Structure 1
């Protein structure tokens, strides 16, 4: 059984199709890069101070839930290779409105995240070049990423491969260094001995009780945004039936190695109470190990991590615009592919938005507080996208039972785990309502959906007019 997505205008010829140029190593590293956010390097100090050693369980629970979201996405994408991303299956299974809301919400998420990354890159560049104007690294970064993404999709995969490799090497080095310090019984200048018992010998694993444990979820969930990025590569992956399952199935291993082992190592060497919320515990561990260049090395790692995220944003937003244009939900100019088979117009538009957003922050300094609020909104909207993936899966199980039976990549737990994950996201929203900063983001977020609802009425009206003219 095949599902034909009804085009809103004539189906493009072969020369307007995305090319399947991403190999298994590209897909694997894109998936790893999506699972390791800058939040792990810079934000883990704050999460440890909030939840203590129980933060390990926080990351494990979030990773466990998101694994099922990714498995649902994987089964849907492989059920029909005409699906190029989650825009397509949400529009097909939930209705045109879902494709419109998913596509534009995901685009907005990555634009906001990309603006944050570009500004972060400017800030990190000041470490080495304090006299450099702040706007220079921002323009250079966006210009470089645009140029490289315009070449071929394989170039995007290659850039992301090496960006992700830098993150992996940094985390493996941290885990290896910390393990050696524990085995050697290293003593810090403050007289603390590196020992695995540091995880539980100071008021246990839950030193701040359940509320401290729950507080960890508010920040930790933001470290996972981008984990669904592998779903936007579906149309450009070689042999998706083999490569997408491989990338998704390795998510639990990545969570254990890159989050859990890294956090266990940090807290074994530096007791959780000694972790400074405002500093990167990665830097502090390497400084303790006697590596004087630790600050420069981690600054380089975090800079490339931000560049990796910006690169992912440039890639995914252009593909979202391409998919929206094919559905008639965005200007048709975004559907045009360059001679190198990349959606050039989408790339230009997204990069322009990144630069305008970054320029706005520099021009109006008072926007910094509002900007923090908007990035939190972005993370909430990522959860909206994950929720629509799950709702699409529930609809798929109801409407396409035969396709599910024939699937070689069924989601474990099926409908039950969908509802468990949906309940978990609702629980996270309740937690976000407990703190002032995140509560403000929850209040503002509905404005985005009001905007989408209003604009969708125009899109639906234009669609109806086009269909009427076609019939006549």
Structure 2
């Protein structure tokens, strides 16, 4: 990967040695991800365990109108990914949006959003490890839940330490299982909806269930916004492909494909699968919440052992999320280390091109979070969970503001690299900012959402304060800015 100049702010000229010189001697990330890896990471990145586990609560809260909730959030994600794709195709970087925020908004922004994003994924590691352990313990009760969590974390840590290629291979198969499962669910579900599924005793309800129980808006139009709050966080992960692209042989092509395909991915995997659930059984069917929306739908069709089948799929989604979460946290730590915003050891790679210190540090904090989850689930871990809850929305906002500034920087420095462009710039960018801001404000009217926003905002303010203090000390000491990203 060629080195690039990082601007500490718009119009700011580098006042220190180019960082690529610094990282060269420490080794660098290697292009170990193949095109098929990147393709499946891009596809699987939008399918989190939250889609399988959390969709039932959303359906119960909004009824069939939850489809509009998913559509609104999906539209936001499409726009954000288009903006991120514009920047990532022009300047592939291991820190993705954190690096671009550093360049366009200032070092404080890159530092703050990078550490917040790292914090988010470290907490996710604990959540997913616990979720996976619960499923595994139900299969093999002889091993305690904490033992399964430990085993899962150790296995995936070892995978990430071997090489980026091994991470890509594991994710290829994990994501492949998720994609095949949802694809099969949509096809089988459609056949059942219209009563043409061989061997099924489902009479075929057509589209009647979308309106036959209180109409399409049984809880009123306002429930759409309630649904938005419940589904927005299940979309986090779409941006992972822009971090992984930096370790592929053709980053620009990978980013272009991922950006162009995000629309159909969201349409099929989210809207398509939820549509099938809502057409197979009434939205207020108790089994949707009790068993989970997908298990309930499979039971209605007459698929034997639906619960066990879904447990396997959910476990795969959990392992995929863990695998990607560890990868993402470590690459963000690597990028922060390279920019002087984290310990320098984080920016060093071993002979296989793996940032070993960054991976192990992320895992250690992940293990600590798992411990908190078992020891103090309702106090310490609840705080960690809520204080990272709105980080996804903060990340999307920063991407929007960064793209507003980065467009001009790219046009000035390398206009030929602007191969992916945000539609209707800058109007759609500002519209997306308004949409995300509205969701954050609306969350303040919801009890659970209010706590997440306020605690996440508190943590964000603390991180920004730390970054500003560090920057002030650096300037007073005359230390040169660390610039450039390898």
Question: TM-score band (shorter)?
Answer: over 0.9
**Are 2:201 and 2:301, in contact at CA under 8 Å, matched by a contact in 1?**
no
**Are 1:433 and 1:439, in contact at CA under 8 Å, matched by a contact in 2?**
yes
Determine if the alignment matches structure 1 residue 328 to structure 2 residue 340: yes
Match of residue 430, structure 1, among 441, 462, 472? 441
Q: Which residue number corresponds to residue 11 of structure 2?
A: none
Deviations 1:147-206 (A, max 9, x none): 0111110111111111111111221222122122222278xx999853222112333221
**Are 1:59 and 1:259, in contact at CA under 8 Å, matched by a contact in 2?**
yes
Match of residue 392, structure 1, among 386, 402, 406? 402
In structure 2, runs of 5+ residues without a counterpart are 7-13, 482-486
Match of residue 80, structure 1, among 61, 76, 91? 91
Deviation at 1:409, TM superposition (A): 1.4
**Are 2:194 and 2:204, in contact at CA under 8 Å, matched by a contact in 1?**
no
Deviations 1:253-306 (A, max 9, x none): 011111111111111111112153243111112222333321111111111111
Distance 1:183 1:468, change over 3 A: closer
Q: Which residue number corresponds to residue 305 of structure 2?
A: 293
Q: Which residue number corresponds to residue 315 of structure 1?
A: 327
Q: How does 1:100-115 map to 2 (within 5 A)?
A: 100-115=111-126
Distance 1:212 1:142, change over 3 A: same
Distance 1:37 1:387, change over 3 A: same
Distance 1:409 1:55, change over 3 A: same
**Are 1:404 and 1:410, in contact at CA under 8 Å, matched by a contact in 2?**
no
Q: How does 1:35-114 map to 2 (within 5 A)?
A: 35-81=46-92, 84-114=95-125
Deviation at 1:331, TM superposition (A): 0.6
Distance 1:394 1:83, change over 3 A: farther
Q: Distance in 2 between the 1:394 and 1:196 partners?
A: 42
Deviations 1:382-424 (A, max 9, x none): 1111111111111123444445853221111211111111111
Determine if the alignment matches structure 1 residue 346 to structure 2 residue 365: no
**Are 1:93 and 1:395, in contact at CA under 8 Å, matched by a contact in 2?**
yes
Q: Distance in 1 between the 2:270 and 2:159 partners?
A: 30
Q: How does 1:413-424 map to 2 (within 5 A)?
A: 413-424=424-435
**Are 1:84 and 1:234, in contact at CA under 8 Å, matched by a contact in 2?**
no
Deviation at 1:455, TM superposition (A): 2.4
Q: Which residue number corresponds to residue 382 of structure 1?
A: 392
Match of residue 455, structure 2, among 441, 444, 447? 444
Distance 1:81 1:165, change over 3 A: closer
Q: Say how many residue pairs are matched.
A: 465
Q: Distance in 1 between the 2:220 and 2:181 partners?
A: 32
Q: Distance in 1 between the 2:385 and 2:400 partners?
A: 23
Q: Distance in 1 between the 2:44 and 2:310 partners?
A: 16
Instruction: State TM-score, norm by structure 1.
Output: 0.92
Match of residue 38, structure 2, among 6, 22, 27? 27
**Are 1:192 and 1:270, in contact at CA under 8 Å, matched by a contact in 2?**
no
Task: Tell me whether 222-231 or 279-288 shows the greater mean CA deviation.
Answer: 279-288
Deviations 1:110-144 (A, max 9, x none): 01111111111111112212332121111111110
**Are 1:373 and 1:440, in contact at CA under 8 Å, matched by a contact in 2?**
no
Instruction: State TM-score, norm by structure 2.
Output: 0.90
In structure 1, runs of 5+ residues without a counterpart are none
Deviations 1:341-381 (A, max 9, x none): 010001101111111111122123443xx645543442311
Q: Distance in 2 between the 1:301 and 1:199 partners?
A: 26
